[in-house]
Structure 1
C-alpha cells in the first residue's frame, strides 16, 4: 500500500500525518508513504529528518491575506494543481490523505479528479474552509472533536481523535518519574507564541520566592529565542530555565513535566491527553473562527485543564495559577488523570485501517501494485 499525505505548514497539521506514516510503514515492508507540502512549511525540515520522501508544491493561503496576497494565491493555484497531477501520476498512490495546510487542497482535489480514494483529517473542533470544501468530495472525514461532525456529511465522518507519533506513545502508560523540582514545560506550537512568551516573562516577577523549586523548559520559536533568553537572565531565572527555539524530543519533555503551559492547537491537546498532563491553556486569539478556544473547552469541561484568554491573562494571574498548582499536588494529579481519560492512543491505527479499506475497495487486496501482498489491518482493530 502506498499512502500520499498532503499538507503541513505547522506541527498541528504535520505531526498527525507523521503518526499515520509511522503506522503505515511498520505494518508491512512493502508499504510506502510520500508527503507533499511546501518549502516554507515545517514539513520541509521535519519530513526528510523522519526518513520520508517529500514533494513540494508552490501554494499559499487565500483567506486573510489582503488583496495582493489573494491575487498571488489565485495565480499560484493552477500551477499547484498541475504540480499535484504530476506528483500523483509519478507516485501512483493507493490513497491520498489531506491533513490540512496549504498543500492539502490542490493535492486532494487533483487526486479526487484522478479517481484516487481520498480522505481528510480535521484536527480542530471548528474546521477550516479548505476542509469544509474537501469534505464534500472525499470518501472519509476523520475528526477529533464532536463539534466538527456538524460541518461534514454525517455518513463520511469517523471520529477517531488526532493521531500521535510513536515516540510519544510510551508516555501513555508511563508514570511521571519522581524529581525534586516542579517541572514546567512551556511552548506555543512549532512556530512559537509571542503573547504567551511575554506573559510567562511577566509571571517571573511574581515567582522569585519559588525560583529554586522550579525547573522550566521553554520552547520559544525562532523569532523570540534571544528575547526570551534575555528575559529569563534579566529576572534571575537563567539557571532554572532551558530556553530553546524548538524541541525535537517532545516525548522526553512531556515525560518530565508536572505541568504544561501552551496554546490550544488540536495536536498539542491530543498529546497532552495521551501523555496525561495537566495544563494551563492560552488559546491563540487570532486562530480562524477562534477554533483554539473551542478546542480548549473540551479539556476545561473535563477538568483536565485551566484556560485563560490571552486578552485577559496577566503575568500575575499566570504566576498565581502556577503557584496554586505547585502547592496542590492532589489537584494536579486529578487534572492529569482526567486528561488521560480523554486520550485516544489508537487514533493512528484506526486511521490506517480505514486507509486499507479504501485501498481494497478501489483497487483490490493488492492495491494498485499487485506485488504488495499484505496490507492487513493491525491486530485487534475494529475500524
Structure 2
C-alpha cells in the first residue's frame, strides 16, 4: 500500500500525519508513504529527518489575508493544482489523506478528480475552511472531537481521535522517572508562543521561595530563546530552555505539570501521556477553536484553562503553587486525562486506509512498476 499524506505547516497538522506514516510503514516492508507540503512549513525540516520522501507545492492560505495577499494566493492556486496533478501521476498513491494546512486543499481535490480514494483528518473541534470544503468530496472524514461532527456529512464521519507518534508511546514505559524537583514542561506549540513565554517569566517573581524545588523545561520557539534563557538565569531558576524539543516523549515523562497552548495534537498527547495541564489557548486561532478544544479537557477535570488576555504572571504562579501543593489533585487530573486518550488512533486510521485501497484497487493496490521512492532509511542523528 502506498499512502500520500498532504498538508502540514505546523506541528498540529504534521505530527498526526507522521503518526499515520509510522503505522503504515511498520505494518509491511513493502508499504510506502510520501508527504506533500510547502517549503515554508515545518514539514520541510521534519519529514526528511524522519526519513520520508517529501514533495513540495507552492500554495498559500486565503483566509485572514490582506486584499493584495489574497489575490496573490488566489492566482497561485492553478499552478498548485497543476503541481498536485503531476505529483499524483508520478507517485501513484493508493490513498490520499489530507491532514490540514495549505498543501492539503489542492492535493486532495486533485486526487478526488483523478479517482483516487481520499480522506481528511480534522484535528480540531471546529474545522477550518479547507476541511469543510474537502469534507464534501472525500470518502472518509476522521475527527477527534465530537463537536466537529456537525460540519460534515454524517455517513462519512469516523471518530478516532488524533494519531500520536510512536516515540510518544514510550512515555508509558518511562512515566515514573525519578526527579527531586517539581518539573514543569512549558511550550507553545512547534513555533513557540510569546504570550506563554512572557507570562512564565513574569510568574517567576512570585515563585522565588520555591526556586530550589522547581525545574523547568521550556520550549520557546526561535524568536524568544535568548530572552527567556536570560529571564530564568537572572531570577535564579533551574531551567532547560530550548528552541524546539525533538524528544517530546522524555519531556512529557519527566513533567509533573504542563503549561501549554490547546492545539488539538497537543491535547491528544496530553491525554495519551496522562498529564495534568494548564492550558492557555492561542487567542487568534481561527474561530477560537483552541478554546473550544480545551473545554473537553477542562470539563473532564483533566486541565485548567486561562484566556491569555486574562492571565497574569501572578495568577499563573498562584496556580502552579496550588497544584504543586496538592499532589492528590494532580493525580486525579492525570487519571482523568488518561481516560480521554486514544492511543489506537493511528492504527484505526490506517485500517480505514487499507479498506479504501481494497475497495478501489483490490487487495494488492494499484498496478504500478516497482517504486524507487521507498521510504528512505531513518536518520540516527
TM-score, normalised with respect to structure 1: 0.95
- 1:169-188 aligned within 5 A: 169-172=169-172, 174-188=174-188
Query: 3-state SS of the aligned residue for 1:241?
Result: strand
Aligned match of 1:375: none
Query: 3-state SS of the aligned residue for 1:116?
Result: coil
List, as ranges, runs of 4+ consecutive aligned residues in structure 1 with deviation greater than 4 Å.
none
Query: 3-state SS of the aligned residue for 2:203?
Result: helix
Query: 3-state SS of the aligned residue for 2:217?
Result: strand
Aligned match of 2:234: 234
- 1:268-283 aligned within 5 A: 268-283=266-281
Q: Distance in 2 between matches of 1:243 and 1:174?
A: 22
1:34 and 1:52 in contact (8 A); partners too: yes
Deviation at 1:177, TM superposition (A): 2.2
Aligned match of 1:8: 8
Q: Distance in 1 between matches of 2:259 and 2:8?
A: 23
Q: Distance in 2 between matches of 1:175 and 1:15?
A: 21
1:292 partnered with 2:271: no
Deviation at 1:229, TM superposition (A): 1.2
Deviation at 1:178, TM superposition (A): 2.7
For 1:361, which of 359, 362, 371 is the aligned residue?
359
1:172 and 1:276 in contact (8 A); partners too: no
Aligned match of 1:101: 101
Q: Distance in 1 between matches of 2:177 and 2:69?
A: 49
Structure 1 residues 371 and 29 mapped into 2: Cα distance closer, same or farther (>3 Å)?
A: farther
Aligned match of 2:139: 139
Aligned match of 2:86: 86
Aligned match of 1:339: 337
Aligned match of 1:267: 265
For 2:249, which of 241, 248, 251 is the aligned residue?
251
Aligned match of 1:315: 313
Query: 3-state SS of the aligned residue for 1:192?
Result: coil
Deviation at 1:68, TM superposition (A): 1.2
Deviation at 1:44, TM superposition (A): 0.2
Aligned match of 2:200: 200
Structure 1, unaligned stretches of length 5 or more?
373-383
TM-score, normalised with respect to structure 2: 0.96
The count of residues paired between Structure 1 and Structure 2 equals 370
Q: Distance in 2 between matches of 1:170 and 1:201?
A: 30
1:201 and 1:315 in contact (8 A); partners too: yes
Deviation at 1:232, TM superposition (A): 1.4
2:98 and 2:120 in contact (8 A); partners too: yes
Alpha-carbon displacement from aligned partner over 1:149-201 (angstroms, at most 9, x marks no partner): 00000000000000000000122465422321000000000000001110001
**Bigger Cα displacement from structure 2, 304-313 vs 165-174:** 165-174
Aligned match of 1:223: 223
Query: 3-state SS of the aligned residue for 1:353?
Result: helix
Aligned match of 1:190: 190
RMSD: 1.1
Aligned match of 1:60: 60
1:172 and 1:345 in contact (8 A); partners too: no
Deviation at 1:371, TM superposition (A): 8.5
Q: Distance in 2 between matches of 1:73 and 1:231?
A: 40
1:120 partnered with 2:136: no
Q: Distance in 1 between matches of 2:172 and 2:33?
A: 26
Q: Distance in 2 between matches of 1:91 and 1:21?
A: 16
Structure 1 residues 143 and 173 mapped into 2: Cα distance closer, same or farther (>3 Å)?
A: farther
Q: Distance in 2 between matches of 1:249 and 1:179?
A: 18
Deviation at 1:233, TM superposition (A): 1.9
1:129 partnered with 2:129: yes
Alpha-carbon displacement from aligned partner over 1:290-337 (angstroms, at most 9, x marks no partner): 000000000000000000000110000000000001110000011001
Q: Distance in 2 between matches of 1:261 and 1:62?
A: 31
2:187 and 2:218 in contact (8 A); partners too: yes
Query: 3-state SS of the aligned residue for 2:322?
Result: helix
Q: Distance in 2 between matches of 1:116 and 1:130?
A: 19
1:192 and 1:221 in contact (8 A); partners too: yes
- 1:149-168 aligned within 5 A: 149-168=149-168
Query: 3-state SS of the aligned residue for 1:311?
Result: helix
